[in-house]
Amino acid sequence: MPRPLPHRLVAEYLGSLLLAALVIGSGIAAQRLSPGDVGLQLLENAAATAVGLFALILIFGPVSGGHFNPAVSLVDAIFRGLAWRDVPAYALVQVLGCVTGAVLANTMFEAAPISISTTERATAAHGLSEVVATVGLLLVIFSLVRSGRAALAPAAVGAYIGAAYFFTSSTSFANPAITVGRAFSDTFAGIAPSSVPAYVLAQLVGVAVAVPLLRLLYPTQTTPAPTAPVPSTTDSTAPVTEGQVR
């Protein structure tokens, strides 16, 4: 049975807050630790985001699914995982969480709590990159979920996002909530508010592309096979089985 909606919303809010603090805070730290070397700054930002996202999904995934991303929540509802009536609430707390996380990151590094970014990112190449990044992220998540391998998702998502920082010119936002949140920090990871609509539109196009691909590649949901009983080392009559991962 799913957890009560208030519990899930708290998990999505906290996960989104920490995700934004992670992305923005590691960007600020990278900029200060490696001044003048943008490549190294990006590597540090990407590495921190990849491993941190892995941990956040492990923490909050069993409660809410660990979406932290309205695009993920939308596709989950399309495939009848998340109830449609819960999607607006999920999206709202994800955006609020990311904005709060931006304020937290700014404050932790003794910057103004709110500083509107001036980094313009809305180019055709960046838009295409966001489509590609979002499609890839959704394929990673829902190919695993629909093939009964959901337990691999935290590591796979972290690995994909870490790689996508480098193979996309946009550095792979792939998330409308984090896109909005990053507008509130005029730092290495920021995005100007004027660029936000183009990014969000590209991410929604990514959703529209990913859903038919997933239906083609994974037309049915696969249930994980039960783990075979393993004899206990302390009591040969008592089988020990692994717990199912939600």
Nearest by Cα to 205 from 104, 126, 93, 120: 126
User: 240 in a domain, yes or no?
Assistant: no
Burial class (CB in 10 A: 0-12, 13-18, 19+), 46: buried
pLDDT of residue 222: 84
pLDDT of residue 65: 96
Give how many domains the chain has, as a whole number: 1
pLDDT of residue 230: 43
User: 234 in a domain, yes or no?
Assistant: no
Q: Tokens 């949140």 — which residue?
A: 181
Q: Which helix (H) or strand (E) holds 122?
A: none
User: 67 in a domain, yes or no?
Assistant: yes
Note the pTM of the prediction, 2 decimals. 0.89
List pLDDT tens digits, range 73-120: 999 999 999 999 999 999 999 999 999 999 999 999 999 999 999 999
User: 242 in a domain, yes or no?
Assistant: no
User: 184 in a domain, yes or no?
Assistant: yes
pLDDT of residue 226: 55
Residue 239, classed as helix, strand or coil, is strand
pLDDT band, very low/low/confident/very high, at 233 (cuts 50, 70, 90): very low
User: 226 in a domain, yes or no?
Assistant: no
Structure tokens at 13: 């809010």
Range of the domain at 114: 5-220
Q: Write b or e for each residue in 69-83: b if 16 or more Cβ atoms lie within 10 A of its Cβ, otherwise e.
A: bbbbbbbbbbeebbe
On the question of pLDDT at 229 being above 80, the answer is: no
User: 235 in a domain, yes or no?
Assistant: no
Burial class (CB in 10 A: 0-12, 13-18, 19+), 212: exposed
List pLDDT tens digits, range 118-131: 999 999 999 999 99
User: 231 in a domain, yes or no?
Assistant: no
On the question of pLDDT at 235 being above 60, the answer is: no
Question: Residue 61's domain is classified under what CATH number?
Answer: 1.20.1080.10
pLDDT of residue 128: 98
pLDDT band, very low/low/confident/very high, at 239 (cuts 50, 70, 90): very low
pLDDT of residue 134: 98
On the question of pLDDT at 242 being above 90, the answer is: no
